Amino acid sequence: MVPGVVMSRRAADGLRWVRRGALRLRHPAQLIAAAYAVGIAAGTLLLSLPVARAGPGGADVAEALFTATSALCVTGLVVVDTASYWSYFGESVILTLIQVGGFGIMTLASLLGLLISRRMGLRSRLIAAAESPGTGLGDVRTVVVGVVTLSLVVQAATAVLLALRLGVAYGEPPLRAAWLGWFHAVSGFNNAGFALYPDSLMRFAADPWFCLPLAAAVILGGLGFPVLFELQRRPREPRHWSLHTKITLVTSAVLLVAGTVFITAAEWGNTGTLGSLDPPARLLAGFFQSAMTRTAGFNSVDIAQLGSGTWLAMSVLMFIGTGSGGTGGGIKVTTFAVLLLAIRAEIRGDTSVDAFRRRIPDQAQRVALSVALLAVAAVVAPTLVLVQITGIRLDEALFEVVSAFATTGLSTGITDDLPPTGRGLLMILMFAGRLGPVTLATALALRERGRLYSLPEGSLIIG
């Protein structure tokens, strides 16, 4: 306190309240949740400015809030057309939120602290480690710089390819082509799904020179940085890859192929989707949509015209999501793989869960089960609420809820028609889906406790 200044009782009480509030945010997960909330508030404020809207006046606060939440949580659900509603400033704000959401607010903050002070404390390491699963405390300094470097390199390469294609084949002016290329490259690598075309990317459904580079960026961003770093270090030594990398690559490949086969076969004769394209274009669109369904959110076919069976299959793919430590959402492919391996072990009567000549720890199995069940609850309950308050069909509600929770951004076209309560529900799901069920639950827990004893086992009949 400055000498000669007497603090009032009200001010002292306020200071103590602030200090108590700061002390409550001791766990890194709590700080991450608070940082995302602050980021959404800042994005809402910027998007509410008159300069952010293409038309006269400022954007409605509810529209700005929904867009900021969707962008920072790298989801892609929108209630207004991104290209026509927002100005270049508004699009730049959205792109910045996507980039920050992809990096992770705490990873970006750690990088800035590293650049300024050239050192990182234990608290900062814990926060960054919580934001980037699978990294040790001693690796955070290197990982933070690696995340940013790798992201920028992949995004820049994708942006160049997209800009060249837009300029040469579609006659876009150089600056416009560069902006469109960079925007979609950032949105793709960060699995955000925001597009600057009213029909998303349907106009490029038969263009492999546009779809394939973007799909590659989406897949790379979805594999997860721990996998990308290991592939970078040991590109030709698959035998020495970690169990996490092997499971992520194999499961991702299986899901990508299975999704491509099912979507292509199910929609082959549907004139509203793939049926209007020639056979090579149908295969390309089926592959592209399978890749995008894994939380990217772009669409090259009309989602509203897909069959109910395709919606269900895509909901499953969205629910599974991408790799751990990546830019996508969902319960993660490793969670899905561990559960499948546990079921296989139980059917075979094995005493342990194994994969690639390695035993999966019991703790990993418990975490996988907890994440999956929390995610199921986070999808089922909001789906029932959405059906009750809007009267929409169950399959449409389920698709929309899974898309929001898995931070995918695909929509059957009902998002902008939802009432305020429905939009609010989707925003909560996007926020929870970005943080992850376990992270969010940990952030809400006020304390941790350990048990110093073990209870005797009891018998239980299952099934």
Reported as a single tens digit per residue, the pLDDT across 23-32 is 455 556 677 7
- Report how far residue 258's alpha carbon sits from residue 156's, in angstroms, rounded to the nearest whole number: 30
In angstroms, what is the C-alpha Rg of the chain?
A: 23
Q: How far is residue 124's CA from residue 35's CA, in Å, rounded to a whole number?
A: 13
Helix, coil or strand: residue 396: helix
The ranges assigned to domains in the chain are 25-444
CA torsion, points 343, 349, 355, 359, in degrees to nearest 10? Answer: 110
Residues 6+ apart with CB under 8 A from 431: 36, 37, 40, 69, 73
Alpha helices in 294-393 (DSSP H): 308-320, 333-348, 362-390
Give the integer Cα–Cα distance in Å for 73 and 100. 9
Residues with Cβ within 8 Å of residue 413, at least 6 apart in sequence: 303, 304
Average of per-residue pLDDT across 383-398: 93
pLDDT digits (tens, 9 = 90+) for 375-387: 999 999 999 999 9
Does 444 score more than 60 pLDDT? no
Strand partners, 354: 359
Mean pLDDT value across residues 350-377: 88
- For 192-230, the pLDDT digits (tens) are 999 999 989 999 999 999 999 999 999 999 898 888 888
pLDDT of residue 295: 80
Three-class SS state of 364: helix
DSSP state at residue 331: S
- Name the band, by pLDDT with cuts 50, 70 and 90, for residue 262: very high
What is the pTM for the complete model shown?
A: 0.86
pLDDT at 152 over 60: yes
Q: Residue 138: what pLDDT?
A: 52
Around 209, how many Cα atoms within 13 Å sit in the side-chain half-sphere? 11
Tell which residue, 142, 148, 223, has the closest CA to residue 186: 148
Please determine, for residue 364, whether its predicted confidence score (pLDDT) is greater than 90: no
